[in-house]
């Protein structure tokens, strides 16, 4: 990806403003105490499936106060067009909810095969993103999420803390530094609590169905 200096002027000029906005908003947010309780429940759940379910609930509680100040709005679907890595467990939860079994992905990463270094995960994530099938999320319907109640954890925590969607708009060849809320703790638990997890893009688990 090219540097952000190659962004169009509106996005480039917005970056420092958006960062200040995000910092101001975060300083005023009161975390939902339910998020930590749900996270602790996830840690002690007996199966990967139950751990993921509780983690999703923790993610929703964590994001609830942030949603009041985020730029994200119903009908805004920029993030539904970028790669989305999920685990086999999450794919199975979605499949159960919609009555459709996930397809074995052509390209996947097994967490057991990764080392302990953060760089290993970054390399795997880059591999999955590069191989992600083109197109929007298969569950995007009329600019809205068709599986909102069972949407993946990654979707629950992706919140732009700017005031509008300007920085979410895709710029070809440039990775725009959107001021997302920091969900690293939840994401770390997501991986740690599924040690035998298989990861792939959601489009690989649920390719388009042809009538």
For 45-55, write each residue's pLDDT tens digit.
999 999 999 99
Residue 14 lies in a domain: yes
Cβ neighbours, 10 Å, residue 209: 8
Residue 59 lies in a domain: yes
pLDDT at res. 139: 97
pLDDT at res. 10: 94
Calpha distance 141→74 (Å, rounded): 12
Residue 205 lies in a domain: no
Average pLDDT over residues 53-76: 96
pLDDT confidence bin for 124, thresholds 50/70/90: confident
- Domains in the chain, number: 1
The H or E element that residue 91 is part of is helix 88-98
Average pLDDT over residues 77-83: 94
Say yes or no to pLDDT of 63 above 80.
yes
Say yes or no to pLDDT of 109 above 50.
yes
Work out the percent of the chain whose per-residue pLDDT is above 70.
95
- The pair of structure tokens assigned to 1 is 């990806």
Cβ neighbours, 10 Å, residue 54: 21
Residue 208 lies in a domain: no
Say yes or no to pLDDT of 211 above 60.
no
- The pair of structure tokens assigned to 126 is 């880059």
Say yes or no to pLDDT of 116 above 80.
no
For 7-33, write each residue's pLDDT tens digit.
999 999 999 999 999 999 999 999 999
Q: At what angle do helices 48-67 and 184-192 cross, to 10 degrees?
A: 170
Residue 39 lies in a domain: yes
Residue 187 lies in a domain: yes
Residue 86 lies in a domain: yes
Residue 210 lies in a domain: no
Give pTM, 2 decimals. 0.91
For 126-136, write each residue's pLDDT tens digit.
888 888 788 89
For 132-186, write each residue's pLDDT tens digit.
788 899 999 999 999 999 999 999 999 999 999 999 998 888 889 999 999 999 9
Instruction: Give the domain extent around 154.
Output: 4-200
């Amino acid at each position: 990806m090219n540097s952000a200096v190659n962004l169009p002027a509106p996005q480039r000029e917005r970056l420092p403003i958006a960062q200040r906005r995000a910092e101001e908003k975060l300083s005023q947010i009161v975390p939902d105490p339910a998020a930590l309780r749900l996270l602790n429940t996830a840690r002690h759940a007996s199966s990967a499936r139950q751990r993921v379910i509780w983690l999703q609930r923790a993610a929703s509680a964590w994001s609830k106060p942030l949603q009041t100040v985020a730029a994200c709005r119903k009908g805004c679907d920029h993030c539904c067009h970028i790669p989305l890595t999920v685990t086999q467990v999450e794919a199975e939860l979605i499949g159960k909810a919609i009555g459709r079994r996930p397809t074995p992905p052509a390209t996947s990463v097994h967490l057991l095969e990764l080392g302990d270094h953060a760089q290993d995960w970054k390399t795997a994530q880059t591999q999955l993103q590069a191989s992600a099938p083109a197109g929007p999320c298969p569950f995007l319907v009329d600019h809205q999420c068709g599986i909102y109640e069972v949407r993946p954890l990654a979707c629950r925590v992706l919140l732009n803390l700017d005031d509008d969607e300007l920085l979410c708009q895709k710029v070809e060849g440039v990775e725009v530094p959107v001021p997302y809320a920091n969900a690293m703790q939840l994401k770390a638990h997501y991986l740690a609590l599924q040690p035998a997890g298989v990861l792939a893009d959601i489009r690989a688990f649920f390719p388009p169905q042809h009538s």
